[in-house]
């Protein structure tokens, strides 16, 4: 077996079971491994510490499969890991036949490089590393065997593949080809999903529990759902008894799908509005015209892609929260989120507090939010906890 030799002291993170090896930690490679090949990782003293997939084109050049150097990385290894991942979702009641969930969450399920989402009878897979790509055919066969799904659609069209020098791949890879749109049920609400062209794999399962929170708090409230995408929070709010919902997004196709979801659930045109607009500009327009709401949802895209973007991202999160606060009636609720992994909760809370101060309101946090249970956080990998949210009540 080809080997990866680490520099002195650079095995410490592996001893703590963090699965990433960066190129700056590597002293050398023994042999001539192909991209994605499994290497035996040794520390500077020659002691074996892990088995990792080799990604020569990426700064993140090694992703650990196992911290047991004696383990065999084969079909049964992956079958065991996959069964553990599926079993967790089954135990939590999330693997429902007519519903959807994340079945495999990459490093959080000790299957780095693979993301698998279930939409009823269909699976959507993303393969984002050289190691996952090398074993993809085997993994797809196992998915068919272990889930009994009708077909698997690949959405490996994400930018992270570029860092691995892997081409984008989309299309049906096993079984039947899924329809253009699929329908799933979550907490009694039915959602139309575009798994072929939508964001990520089509739907944000990581916000499941937060949609349910909005549903439970929306009764008799006028709701503004910003960066609405396909209207998930808006549909949940109406299902919870909201008097009116405005879904705002810059994407007309996304809001067209939101319209289908609204109609699917029997909501009438008088109960909601889907508005194509720049969110920042529209919020300023609403503020300047004195428009008010009782619940505002701010679920923006990732504002912080890397450490260099953190200052600019902080300003964006604070600006959007300030506008949200300015639109709320006394007693109103702000649901504000960050999906930026580099945004830590204490900093996010500070930015939200500063935004309230700028808006001239006082608020109190009534809930802290995170990603849903099918997006677990590996204890040794804090990076797998990325979604942070706050529910803030504007005090009278």
Confidence of residue 180 (pLDDT cuts 50, 70, 90): confident
| Beta carbons within 10 angstroms of residue 301's beta carbon | 12
Question: What are the Cα distances from residue 166, in Å, to 4, 162, 200?
Answer: 22, 6, 17
Catalytic residue among 61, 149, 314, 339: 339
> What is the rounded CA–CA span in Å between residue 204 and residue 231?
11
Confidence of residue 56 (pLDDT cuts 50, 70, 90): very high
Which segment of 111-120, 305-314, 323-332 scores lowest on mean pLDDT?
305-314
How high is the pLDDT of residue 229? 97
Do 45 and 85 contact (CB within 8 A), yes or no?
no
Mean pLDDT of the region 364-393: 96
Do 190 and 168 contact (CB within 8 A), yes or no?
no
State the pairing for strand pair 244-249/272-276: parallel
Domain 185-394 has CATH 3.40.50.150: yes
How high is the pLDDT of residue 309? 87
**Does residue 396 register a pLDDT over 80?**
no
**What superfamily in CATH does domain 75-175 come from?**
RNA methyltransferase domain (HRMD) like (3.30.750.80)
How high is the pLDDT of residue 18? 97
- Sorted by where each begins, the domain ranges of the chain are 3-66, 75-175, 185-394
> What is the rounded CA–CA span in Å between residue 370 and residue 338?
9
How high is the pLDDT of residue 159? 87
Do 337 and 65 contact (CB within 8 A), yes or no?
no
Torsion angle in degrees (nearest 10) through CA of 341, 347, 353, 355: -60
Confidence of residue 141 (pLDDT cuts 50, 70, 90): very high
**What global pTM score does this model have?**
0.94
Structure tokens at 191: 């959602």
Mean pLDDT of the region 135-152: 97
b/e burial code for range 3-14 (CB count within 10 A of at least 16 → b) = ebbbeeebbebb
Decide: residue 189, CB within 10 A, 0-12 exposed, 13-18 middle, 19+ buried: buried
Q: What class has domain 3-66?
A: mainly beta
* Known catalytic residue at 339: yes
Q: Where are the beta strands (DSSP E) in 176-227?
A: 182-186, 189-193, 222-226
Which segment of 47-56, 269-278, 302-311 scores lowest on mean pLDDT?
302-311
pLDDT in tens, 239-291: 999 999 999 999 999 999 999 999 999 999 999 999 999 999 999 999 999 99
- Sign of the torsion angle spanned by Cα atoms 33, 38, 39, 43: positive
**Does residue 114 register a pLDDT over 80?**
yes
Per DSSP, the three-state class of 227 is coil
How high is the pLDDT of residue 321? 97
Backbone angles phi, psi at 395, to 5 degrees: -80, 150
Mean pLDDT of the region 160-189: 95
Q: What is the average pLDDT score of the chain?
A: 96
Query: Would the CATH topology of 75-175 be identical to that of 185-394?
Result: no
Mean pLDDT of the region 129-154: 97
How high is the pLDDT of residue 113? 97
């Amino acid at each position: 077996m080809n080997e990866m030799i680490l520099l002195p002291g650079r095995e410490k993170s592996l001893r703590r079971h963090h699965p990433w090896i960066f190129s700056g930690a590597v002293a050398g490679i023994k042999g001539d491994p192909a991209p994605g090949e499994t290497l035996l990782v040794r520390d500077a003293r020659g002691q074996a510490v892990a088995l990792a997939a080799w990604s020569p084109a990426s700064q993140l050049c090694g992703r650990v499969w196992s911290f047991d150097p004696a383990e065999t990385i084969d079909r049964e290894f992956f079958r065991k890991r996959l069964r553990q991942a599926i079993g967790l979702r089954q135990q939590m009641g999330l693997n429902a036949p007519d519903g959807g969930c994340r079945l495999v969450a990459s490093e959080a399920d000790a299957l780095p490089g693979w993301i698998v989402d279930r939409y009823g009878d269909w699976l959507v897979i993303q393969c984002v590393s050289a190691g996952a790509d090398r074993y993809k055919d085997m993994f797809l066969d196992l998915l068919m065997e272990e889930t009994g799904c009708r077909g698997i659609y690949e959405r490996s069209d994400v930018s992270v593949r570029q860092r691995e020098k892997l081409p984008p791949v989309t299309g049906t890879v096993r079984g039947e080809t899924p329809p253009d749109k699929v329908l799933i049920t979550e907490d009694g609400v039915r959602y139309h999903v575009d798994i072929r062209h939508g964001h990520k794999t089509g739907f944000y399962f990581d916000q499941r529990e937060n949609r349910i929170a909005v549903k439970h708090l929306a009764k008799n409230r006028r709701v503004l759902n910003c960066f609405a995408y396909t209207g998930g929070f808006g549909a949940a709010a109406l299902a919870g008894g909201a008097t009116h919902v405005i879904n705002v997004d810059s994407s007309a196709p996304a809001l067209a799908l939101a319209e289908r979801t609204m109609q699917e659930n029997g909501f009438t045109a008088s109960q909601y509005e889907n508005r194509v607009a720049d969110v920042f500009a529209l919020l300023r327009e609403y503020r300047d015209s004195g428009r008010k709401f009782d619940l505002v949802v701010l679920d923006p895209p990732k504002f912080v892609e890397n450490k260099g973007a953190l200052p600019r991202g902080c300003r964006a999160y604070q600006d959007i929260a300030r506008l949200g606060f300015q639109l709320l009636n006394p007693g109103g609720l702000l649901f504000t989120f960050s999906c930026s992994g580099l945004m830590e909760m204490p900093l996010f809370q500070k930015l939200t507090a500063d935004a309230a101060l700028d808006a001239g309101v006082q608020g109190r946090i009534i809930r802290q939010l995170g990603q849903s249970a099918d997006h677990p956080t590996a204890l040794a990998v804090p990076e797998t906890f990325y979604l942070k949210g706050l529910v803030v009540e504007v005090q009278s």
